[in-house]
Chain A
Amino acid sequence: MASTSERRGIPAAAFVKDVHDFLLQYDGNPGTCLTALQEKLQQYKLAEMKLLGQKRDLLAKIPDMRKCLQIVELMMHKKGNQEAMTMDFEVAEGIYAQAEFRDTETVCLWLGANVMLEYKCEEAQELLTRNLDTANKSLKSIVEDLHFLRDQMTITEVTIARVYNWDVHQRRKQRAIRPEAETAVA
């Protein structure tokens, strides 16, 4: 993970070895440094939300694709069977009608954009399986992206905590050296 500097346009968070050296980038001011880090964390969170949305969409789509595939498989299963199958299908919400379904070679798939195409059952099965595969693959890559993002967020959070602790520690040291400064600040 350390070697990747970015993934899908998401920049990796740099690991800070030494807080003191790191702060030199911000003129040694922990306040500006913390603000910058918080901002970065927000950006990561935004990217995470976007990815989580994509993941949710896919998770909703995959069961639908499975349903289509199930129907086609049922049709293929019944092939060669002379007896007609009876089905109840939904005409409108809550209203069902009965249909008799006989041995068939073909099935029509709704491709979107007002297009429906007739396929052989085998071809339809292949197409639907391929679509399902693609969806599963993109889901997997989104999950990996999310893992990467989570790591970057953890690194940033840990860095924030460390800069904060460093600052507290520094102040304590100063107070220990100049106790009179404490009363001045208070």
Chain B
Amino acid sequence: MQQGDGVETEVTWEDQQNINAFGRLNNKFHELEDTIKAKKDMTDNLEDASNELILADDPEVRYLVGEVFTHLAVDEVEERLEALKEVNSQELESLQEEKAEVIAKMAALKKTLYGKFGDSINLEED
């Protein structure tokens, strides 16, 4: 933002607030991306676990609870995995909705700010 060409555009409190909002949203966007990635990894891991479970010969498998491996029946583990998958996919969905909202808000702010400041402001990532 410092390579201004010296053309003076008055910055009002409202503009400042818009810039603040944009900064926050941008931050949030990156945080959301990270969380979404973690959740997607979780989805993959749960899926892998389910597939392994189908192939399992033993009627009993070791299931990690906290820091101990509990010997549980395959059926019960299956139930637990399904429950985890359900929670995980719901969380993923709401995160993705939130991300879409953030993107929309950022686009609206970009329009306003570029409209007023033109080339004097840079809202793009490097």
Contacts and interface: CB of A to CB of B under 8 A. Distances in A.
Interface string B45-58: 00000000000000
Nearest to B27: A150
Interface in B23-57: 23-24, 27
Given A154-B20, A157-B1, A88 B6 contact: no
B124 interface: no
Nearest to A155: B16
Contacts of B71: 85-88
A49 B65 CA distance: 34
A28 B78 CA distance: 72
Given A2-B13, A147-B24, A87 B69 contact: yes
B7 A85 contact: no
B67 interface: yes
Contact of B24 (A85, A151, A155): A151
Interface in B68-121: 68-71, 120
B73 to A, nearest CB: 10
